[in-house]
Structure 1
Amino acid sequence: MYTAIMVVIVMTIIGCVFGLVLAYVNKRFAMEVNPLVELVEDILPKGQCGGCGFAGCKAYAEAVVLDESVPPNLCVPGKAAVAEQVAKLTGKSAPAIEPRVAHVRCGGDCTKSVRKYDYKGIKDCTAANLLQGGPKACQYGCLGFGTCVKSCPFGAMAMGSKGLPIIDMEKCTGCGTCASACPKQVIGFRPVGSKVMVNCNSKDKGGAVRKACSVGCLGCGLCVKNCPHGALKVENNLAVVIDHHICTEKCSEATCLAKCPTGAIKAVVSGIDLQEQSKKEAAANV
């Protein structure tokens, strides 16, 4: 009994000594926090997406306040409104940021794409990609397991009824988290208000594309030849919109849509991706 009491007393004394030492060290080496950092952090959307290039909102707040070289407009989700507030607090200038939204560069849903095997593993795109590049015959196509959807910090994505992600253009901030999560690099970006989009990511030649997907880009160049404003080009066997502003400002009739033999080029209606139709189908199936 006496031994147990002594053990308790000794442990209590040791605990008190260590507590006093830690309290002294904490006070002696405490770093003053710039109150401006907290003010800037409160303005940020707290998505922790990393779109600014820093490890979360707090890290960016510290950098933009303490480092003169860090601009106030790096918060992509916050857009111009947040950039202006951060600039005002830090006394820096905030160049205009063009709003952007994510774009799934694949139209090969489960009814239009060919599969090379039946995948039975973990429902995750990264995991599936480790097994011969995934079950899709097109090595560049969306695998459809929703890894991008799970990664979106703003709830702007959902899986459609036909196995392709759907992007809610009203919620999408263009932060880039979904693009980073995609092992196939299927997700790209386009400016808000753009008129056309290429729903394909394949770099294969036309013959291989036809075998893998009925709506893939063949790289035939018909869209380029029929665009009177030079807004398109074929790069690595894939049609690419060079400048969306050309389409927005100069084009009144998108002839590229009519000339595309597979329908790989789609129109954007009122700034909303036409894949929104899949969302309606999914809701109808519930």
Structure 2
Amino acid sequence: MRLQRRIGNHQEEGGRTMIEILYPLFVLGVIGIVLGLGLSLANQYLTVEEDPRIDAVEKLLPNYNCGACGTPSCRAFAEGIINGEVKNLSRCKPGKADKHFNPILEYLKEHPNPDGSIVDVKI
């Protein structure tokens, strides 16, 4: 067998030293830690606060996600109600006035906009 000298270590030709094996693992570990810290900081500083009234109004809707109201989902319809884009609750075809729409109107009267105004929506 022919021996080869590499950085002061004797090894067989074609063999690997421990440093050559562990170096890529160390580099990948450092990259993983750096990216993990970056994601953690991004999550901390780039979060978007949503209006909790959207979730409450969505729960009061029938949640069929049928799209008959003209929006892709009940969540989008609830966002439209809260943002003032939807003026008529009867656009929701599966919804019933006594079961869905009246509780929404009551909820919106009890929980006004941040500026104190009440969302203007009708049945």
Which residue, 6, 31, 48 being the options, matches 2:65? 48
Change (3 A) 1:43 1:2: same
Change (3 A) 1:14 1:94: same
Count of aligned residue pairs for this structure pair: 94
1:90: how far off?
2.5
| Structure 2 segments unaligned to the other structure (5+ residues) | 1-17, 110-119
Identity %, equivalent residues: 31
Q: Report SS of the residue matched to 1:45.
A: coil
| Cα distance per residue 1:33-57 (max 9 Å; x no partner) | 1111111111122211111111111
Are 1:68 and 2:84 matched, yes or no? Answer: yes
> Matches of 1:3 and 1:63 in 2, distance apart?
59
TM-score by length of 2: 0.66
For residue 82 of structure 1, what is the aligned residue in structure 2? 100
Which residue, 40, 57, 76 being the options, matches 2:74? 57
1:32: how far off?
0.5
1:93: how far off?
4.1
Checking the alignment, whether the CA contact within 8 Å between 1:50 and 1:56 is kept in structure 2 is yes
More helix by share: 2
For residue 94 of structure 1, what is the aligned residue in structure 2? 122
Q: Report SS of the residue matched to 1:55.
A: coil
> Matches of 2:87 and 2:20 in 1, distance apart?
64
> Matches of 2:106 and 2:80 in 1, distance apart?
15
| Structure 1 segments unaligned to the other structure (5+ residues) | 96-286
Checking the alignment, whether the CA contact within 8 Å between 2:58 and 2:74 is kept in structure 1 is yes
Change (3 A) 1:93 1:61: closer
Change (3 A) 1:51 1:4: farther
1:5: how far off?
2.0
> Matches of 1:40 and 1:8 in 2, distance apart?
50
